[in-house]
Amino acid sequence: MAYSLAFSRGQRVVPTVVADAAQAATELERWRLRRFHGEDRPVQYGPLKALAYLVLRVPVGLLGAVILLLLVYGAAMAVALAWSWWVTGDYLDGIPPSWWIVLYTAVLGLVLLFLAVQGLVGVVALEKTVARRCLGPSPLEEYERRIAQLSVTRAEVVDAVDDERRRIERDLHDGVQQRLVALGMLIGRARRAGDGEKAADLLRQAHEESQRALEDLREVTWRVYPAALDGEGLRAALETVAERTPLPVTIAYDVPGRPPHAVETAAYFVVCEAVTNAAKHSGARRVRVDVTGSATMIGVRIEDDGGGGADPGGGGLAGLARRVAALDGAFGVDSPPGGPTVITAELPCG
């Protein structure tokens, strides 16, 4: 009988019907693993890998079936024994139920139940192992994927640093530098005016301009890196963000202990950039910041009630995504037209 052939790596051949059936059965197994065991890893397999998985899965399934049958048989025997002892009076084993017989039987039954449950746990672990080995990427492929990911992340971090430097240069050029130029001009005019009333007025203007230049410089310094982050920690730095923002900002902070320094820094800049964007561009009236965490993960969520439409590919948000990706974290932006805008970040601490 003629049938078409499906080719796979190594120039091996598998009948198309068999290959399709194997892949369909494997997809059913993957659904079962996701549904009942929470196993949802990236997979990459062809017909041969699907067949290999099914072949190895058969003895694992038979082992699980035997354990389940023994468990059901033991439960049935326990019910029948108890029924014969205390209901019918027809002793199933011919032995009356004295207290030490009942105790001995109960202990033996609990031990066998424990062994059966442990056997089922082992079968589940064996199922996951077989699925990972047969359907998932090989260790070499995992290493190659990880190396490629690190290379991309490193390039993105360099881009983020360059973007940050350009932003700092722009803030200094458009803000502090312009004020210092104006300050120098006022001082020069005051020197040329002599000691009259005009000179006093010019010096007063120069003093006010120097105060504004100092405020701009403090603002730039604070945006570059807040001193509170090193001293008092992330919570104090976020409270400073709330105080300096013209919008009402509510902060809910529930993180035990202090996260690693790199995680604190990334979480701070995510909140700072999101709050700044909400104040400048979204038309929001309020912002809520939630920071939760454990010993292994820090979660950040910023929500505003603005008009939405934030562009995840914009300079600020794209830079935050690269900063979070450098820590193997996850970054998300949900900003439908009309709002609200929700920015999330998950940062691993290990």
CA 21 from chain centre, in angstroms, equals 36
Q: Is the peptide bond before 47 cis (omega within 30 degrees of 0)?
A: no
SS3 content of the chain, % helix, strand, coil (to 5): 65, 10, 20
What per-residue confidence (pLDDT) applies to 169?
73
Radius of gyration of the CA atoms of the chain, in A: 34
Q: What burial class does residue 163 get, using C-beta atoms within 10 Å of its C-beta: 0-12 exposed, 13-18 middle, 19+ buried?
A: middle
Do the Cβ atoms of 224 and 165 come closer than 8 Å? no
Q: Give the whole-angstrom CA distance, residue 122 versus residue 111.
A: 16
CATH of domain 232-348: 3.30.565.10
Element (DSSP H or E) covering residue 347: strand 341-348
Q: Structure pTM?
A: 0.54
What per-residue confidence (pLDDT) applies to 43?
55
Q: What's the one-letter identity of residue 31?
A: W
Tell me the mean pLDDT per 10 residues along the chain, length 350: 40 55 65 56 60 77 87 85 73 67 82 88 82 70 72 67 70 74 78 73 78 74 69 83 84 85 85 83 84 86 84 73 82 84 85
Name the nearest CA neighbour of 186 among 175, 172, 199, 177: 199
Q: Give the whole-angstrom CA distance, residue 187 versus residue 183.
A: 6
Q: Give the whole-angstrom CA distance, residue 27 versus residue 47.
A: 12
Q: Give the whole-angstrom CA distance, residue 140 versus residue 137.
A: 8
What per-residue confidence (pLDDT) applies to 1?
38
